[in-house]
Every structure is written in C-alpha cells, then in structure tokens.
Structure 1
Amino acid sequence: MWSQGNAEPLTLLEQLIDQRRAFGQIDVFLALSFSNTMRQEYCDVFHYEGLGGLGANSRLSRQGVLEVHPMQLGQFCNDLHDGRFPVDVAFVQLAGPDRDGNYSAGFDHTYTRDLVSRARVVIAEVNTNAPVLPGASTIRPDELDAVVHTDRPVCPAPVAVSDEVDRKIAAHVAELVPDRATLEVGIGALPSCVLEALAGHRDLGIHTGMITRPMLGLIGSGAVTNAFKPVDTGYSAGSILAFDQPQRLDPYPLRLRPSRETLHFTALAGQPSMVAINTAVEIDLSGQVNAEYVPEGYVGAVGGLLDFVRGARASDGGRSIFAIHSRTSRGRSRIVSALAGGVVTVPRSDANWVVTEWGAVDLAHASLSERARRLISIAHPDDREALSKAWHDRN
C-alpha cells in the first residue's frame, strides 16, 4: 500500500513495476490515484484490491481487475491504526527533513502516519516538491527502512471545467449555507462552483477531507475565518491537499490531520452548523444515494461520505446536501426509480437536501410518497412523467 493522490510516490511505483517479475505475486491495495501508473497489463504480477474506483482506479474497475472493499474511510483508517488491516510493505511520499532531521507526511495525512507505524517495511520517497505542513506528528528517520530522494513534479489532481448547469446548482446550494457554517466539500467541477458561489459568505469554517485549490480561493476571499470552530480555531482542517504546489502555502492557515480524526463522529457533530456538500452518481425516489457505481464499474467509493453525512446531520444547525445534475452527459436521469446494480452508498434513512439545476428539496421527515414527489419536481422536465409512472407502477 502507498500514500495517495498528489502523494503517490511515483519513483518507487515505477521501480516496483520494472522489477515486479522478481517478486512473484504482489497484493496491491489502492486508495485514491491521480496517475495512470497502475495498469491492467501488470496483472501478470499485481493483484489489485482497493477502496473503490477512486480517480484513475476507475479504469481498473471497468477492466474487471479491481476487487473493491466497500468500507467507510474512517473505519478503514481506524483498522489500519489498530493493526486490524495488516500491511506488509508501505511506500510513502514525505516532505522535509526539518531542522531536527524529521519528516512530514506532506500532501497526504490521511493514513500515512499509520502506514509508517504499522508496516513491516517502510520505503520513503522524499520529494523536495512536497510541502511541510503541520500534521498529526513527525516521522523520524529511524522509522524508515529505506529513503529515496527525488525532485520531480507531483501528480496533480485532474482539473474539471464548470458549465452553466454547475453555476445554477451552486447558486441553489449557496442559499442553503448560513454564515458561520463549517464546510465539507468534495472535488470536481460542481464542488468548485459551489466554493466560488460562497465567496460572499462570512466567517465560514472548513473541516473537510480534501483541501482543493478552489478552497484556497475561498479562504483567500476572506469568507473563511474558522473563527467559530471549537477545534482548530483559525485553521482550515483536512487530511489531504488535492493539488500540486506552484505557489506558497504560507498565507493559508491549514492544519492536516489523519482521517481517523477528521472523520470521527464527535469531531464532525461538534462543529457549528456543519454542512456536508457532496455529489452523487444517482439518487432514487426514496432518497437512497449511489455515489460509487455505474453499470460499467466503480467510479467512486464509500470513502468519508457517510461519515460526513451523519456528522453533519448531528451537528447543531447542520445539514447534508447532495448536489447533482438532473441528467448525465449522455442524457440519462440522475434521479432514478432504481439504483444501478442496487448499490447504496448512503441509505434513505440519512436523506436530507438534494439539489439540481431545477431547485432544492429537503427529504428529511418526508414520507416515501412525498420524497418521490419532491425529487420528481427537481428532475429534468423531460424525465418527470416517466419517473412518476415508475413510482406509480412500483406502488
């Protein structure tokens, strides 16, 4: 297993690929990938397992070579920390060293500290382009079995281009976010639009999984002060930096923590007006959410989604918001009578706000028939009659 996202240790992975036939079969566990390093043709040695089709790993799922573990990220990180999920060899990308000779987890604090603590063998790629930021703890040189020093660009997160539909949805979402709210926002074109739409808000806080470049833009606008957060007051908190680093991060008060801390229920429920803003593949008429699967394979994972949804709903004044296009790029409705493959990422008992370009509806405390009516009202107009008929026939 290795660190993820921008912190993929690309030099180590390339060497592993080149030398793979010297080892025999290797079980590889994948999290989030921004690169195309792992490929189907390496299955001559690699056996791929992972949390889902996160980033470039969706291609492996479509090719039928990725076995998925449908686990919540918070629980997975707890299991890794406690030794219930054994890892034999860990590759980690680190930053540093500092003046004391210690290293930092750099871009990815999700589970890097626990990988170093638990793996039998730890090989580090220390990249001069990885940032030294405050994290859970430092990593001492004597915790590493081997170190490779590199100076190469990190693998950047993909950049998605927003459109007019994104902007309409973002405007609806912004109306549901009060001043002084604490935000969790995902990654992609629509979440980026939402962050831009919040620039006029005041005293927002950030307690999220991924800190993205649009999030830095919101911080820079003055809308984010983190002044009313009871923990990490004055700091935007997350677990991973989901961008490369062409600029200095000094102006941004950031604090990175392991996911087992940022996703802990009490940490989320204790935030004032915690608002979780996420996207989904599709939502059925009862409020069930599929955020990970399409008929061709996995394009996402459970990840921290359910942790954030439940933590936000338990927060004083908090809410969960799913923001989706009413239709896919191929013209298929994202509000459906039945989820693809029957995959439920978030159960209907956790349903709250759903937003499309046609409006916003609250499903909490609504009966099944009322939920269907509300969701159909924000579906694409050309899909509403078919959805109504499907609901009538089903009942």
Structure 2
Amino acid sequence: MVARAYKRIAFGVLLLYVLYLAGGIALAATGVLSKVYFFPGWALKAPSHDASAFAPDGPIVRYQSGAALSTAIVPRGAGLLIQTDTLTDPARSTVRCYVNETGTSFTVPLHPRHTVEPSEYPAPAKMLVVSDIEGNFKGLDLLLRTTGVVDSAYRWRFGNGHLVVVGDVFDRGLQVTECLWLLYKLEQEAARAGGKVHFILGNHELMNLTGHYKYVRRKYRRNADSLRLDYAAWYGPETELGRWLRTKNVVEKIGSTLFVHGGISPEVLGLRPTLAALNEQARNRLDAPPARNPAGLAKVLASPQLSPDWYRGLAQQEASAGHVQQVLTQYGVRRMVIGHTPVTEITPLYGGKVVAIDLPHQENTDEQQLMKALWIENGRFYAIRTDTSRREEL
C-alpha cells in the first residue's frame, strides 16, 4: 500500500512537471515569458517576436585595394542617412560610432595591426568579468561606468585592471556593432594604461563568423539590405572587426583561473591539448572549409555539444567532480569561469571550482536598471551589483 501511494505521488509530481513545461513553452512561444526554467539555475531562452527594423548602425569598415571604406547608418534630421567615407590611410584613421540606444557616440582609432592573443596571462590585482552581453549596450555601459572601468565619455579608467568578456556579445540584442566597437576601443586604451581587455569567443561569435545566422535580429537583415552589403560580409576577414575577432581565443588562463564560454568537455580533455593548440584549432575553423573527415581535436571542435564555446555539462552539473578536477589540474588553475548557460545569480558549482555567470542582463537592465557581474580582486571572487557598492564574496 505504501509503495503504491509513493508511486501515485511520484506520478502526480511528474505530471505536474510535464504540464509546467508544456505551459511554459507555450507561453514562451507566444512571448508572454522570456525564458522557461527546467530546474533552478538553468533555463531555456524563448525566441523573441522580432519587430526591429532599419535603424542606426555601424560603422562597418571594409578593406579594398589598400584603402578602407567606412559605412554607417546615422541620424540626419528626422530620418537616417547612409554615410560612406574612404579612409586612405587606415592605420592612422578614426571612425565614429553612434549609439542609438543611449544617444551618445565615441571616436575609435583603428588598430595599425592585429596579432593573435596569448592563451595565458599573469593575474592582475583586479578583474571585472561579464558574459553574454548579447548586444545590450545600455547594460554594458551601465556596468562599465558604475564599476569604474570607464568614465562618462567611455574612456578607460581601470588602470592596470583587466576586463574579461566571456563570450556572446553577438545576437539577440540590437546594439551588437556598438558593443564590439566599444570593446575594440577600450582594448587599445587599456593596453596603454597597463591593463587588458580579454574577449573570449562564445558560440554566437563563432556562429556569426562561420555563416550561421539563426539568432541575428531583423534589424541587421534590414540594414544589410539598405546598405546593399550582405550581412555575411560585415565580419569577414577583409573587415576591421572581422580581423580583430579572428585574433581572439576560445579559452584563456589568467593567473589561476580558466575562462571559457561553455566549458571543457571530457572529449576535449581526453586529447590533452595545450591551451594554445586549442585556440589555434578553433581559429583555424573560422575560414577553412569544413573537413570531410575531421579527426582528433578538429573532430571534437566540430561538434557543438563538445566544443569549448558550447559544452553545457559543467553548468548543468552533468560532468563528474573528477572531470572538473582533471581540467583544473591539466591547465594548472584553481577555478573555471563559464557563461553560455543561463543562471539567475552568479553561481558557484562543484564546491566553487566552477563559477557560472550567464545572467539575465537584458531583463535586469530593462526592468531594474542594474547589472550584475563577477569581480575578482587579489584572487578572491565577489558578486557585484551596479545599484550598490557592496560586494558579496562567493
């Protein structure tokens, strides 16, 4: 009798869970909910009903015959103007980025050259770490200003501190280009001050750089049509932002912390690649045609479920504690920081050896005018909020 009663209770709980998921997915599909939680700390983001349209954007800087063309959509009176400038000496040129969301703009000197980023760095005294900005310029602006990384004119004020962006600046939001240019600009200023901007490639960067545009907003398709410049060419190897992005890594070690957008899967770890080899192989995939019969690391990286930019086993705690420790030991670190899989708060996992930081930034910005991020100072990890000066140690 008791066993039968437990079975009925278990069946009832399961039925309620199934009904919850079915209802949640239905509401997400109609736009009532923005995400559906499968269990605490993990949610499925709902597709948006996209009404975005032709709007300010750019600049898009493309190289042709030793010169460069800078094309932008800018406000002009009550309308919009497509503005194209020829940069005869790109290495000494600047472009101006207008941000429609905030009504502000900033000037960006173009890099004279691009070099591939190292895979390992010594630890600075302080780091601000954020992931999954997803085109939310207002939120990024709020976060950087209130934490003292930039001033009101978007100038670097973080000294020798490091700003770490753990992937997914692309897609979902409407200010992707502007976020990219701001990080590009701050990278130069940080270097002059002895600091550093780290841009880790996430799955949405890799998707946009390899021709997968499922999550690109309608605005960008409309803008591409108006510019008569296919979106596929916006971040190609003959563009300034495209060249810059192709110098970035999918995983970096900073001091005793490993930063990776998705995570290190058992399949990747089993091949024991160095960080440099892992990053080189990931970059090689960006412009090379798909191999017919990839093997080894190339084969693993070609599988989204296993690649560092997409693997969710750590965030979902499906990987064993032994695997986590093996990753830390292999790369000589004490902790990993990951994004990609949504959490409601900065969440330590595996006894604090993994820290998940993909927060609902757009919702927090829209509803509460706040941003949350990870702050690392002298090796100690803190959760910070932009509406208070208090830091909560993890």
TM-score, length of structure 1 as denominator length: 0.29
TM-score, length of structure 2 as denominator length: 0.29
Name the one with the larger strand percent. 2
